[in-house]
Amino acid sequence: MENKKENKVYDVITIGAGPAGMTAAIYASRAEMKVLMLEKGAPGGQMVNTYEIENYTGYTKIGGPELSMKMFEHTQALGAEYAYGDVTGIEDQGDIKIVKTATGEFKAHAVIVATGTVNRKLGVKGEEELAGRGISWCAICDGAFYKGKEVAVIGGGNSAVEEALYLAGLASKVTIIHRRDEFRADKVASERAKNNEKIEILWDHVIDSFNQTDGKLSSLTVKNVKTDELSDVECAGTFIYVGQDPVTEMVKDLGITDERGYIEVNHNMETKVKGIYGAGDNTEKELRQVITATNDGAIAAQTAIKYIERLEKQSE
């Protein structure tokens, strides 16, 4: 059966439906643009996997899944189309961009790449084998499996500390393992973790290996970075939060990324290719938060709108 969406030429396609992609869709839709959001997962991006968000303006505290759904409902109320799409590449044909997916192609005058990031792996012994068998990158997804059990959290940023606090409400004990001697998380979250009686903190330690019993995680071998001393930490589950890597493989042939894979944009979210924009955590910038992603999405959409208006004038 013919896919009508594939033959339609959209004004704007957003690749990704996280806070950047959805905000871009909202702004473009309000300008009466024909908008398609392509997403290979659930709307919300990293927000979906975040238990609580406490630094998004207007909400003292809101669940990540709830905020994701509010944003998605907003896009739908304005008429933005939504479709599954695992994007494999973008072909620049001047005024028309071809967005290629594993199941078909879509056309648009402008494309906003808002694919976000994926959680980084440690690359140590046992990690690959035990992924999903005691090792997770999402506390809200898998935390309930470890109710009343001992777990570990690896990392020292906001994600690690906030998810450790969430897990402390489920597990009997949470051990935070951090390679530095202080957290990178904000002071409010850091102090809560330090003062939580269920949380123990191992400063100056890294993971040497993940150990298993009967095919499931049973303990971690950790190394003191100052003394090189090895020791074991018993735990039924481990949650890894050591940073993210950009999801930009689909645009590598366009020459718009830096050496780390982040999309290079100017203050208008423009890349080196006219009509293609970056927005959100996959762009080269200092602060990656929900609120900065929405900011990027709004700017990218506004810039794309002006670009499309110029194209329309040129064609008259």
Active site residue 141: yes
Question: Of 11, 142, 281, 296, which is the active-site residue?
Answer: 142
- Check if the beta carbon of residue 12 is closer than 8 Å to that of residue 35: yes
Provide the pairing of β-strand 230-234 with 216-224: antiparallel
Strand 150-154: give its sheet, edge to edge. Answer: 135-136, 237-240, 150-154, 173-177, 199-202
CA distance 307 to 102: 28
Q: Phi, psi (5° rounding) for residue 218? A: -125, -25
Active site residue 235: no
Long-range CB contact pairs, 49-52, < 8 A, 24+: 49/137, 49/138, 49/139, 49/140, 49/141, 50/140, 50/159, 50/162, 51/139, 51/140, 51/162, 51/163, 51/166, 52/162, 52/166
Q: Which amino acid is at 271?
A: T
Q: Which amino acid is at 73?
A: E
Strand 216-224: give its sheet, edge to edge. Answer: 205-213, 216-224, 230-234
Question: Of 86, 141, 253, 258, which is the active-site residue?
Answer: 141
Beta bridge partners of 107: 9, 98
Active site residue 253: no
Question: Of 92, 138, 208, 245, which is the active-site residue?
Answer: 138
Catalytic residues: 138, 141-142
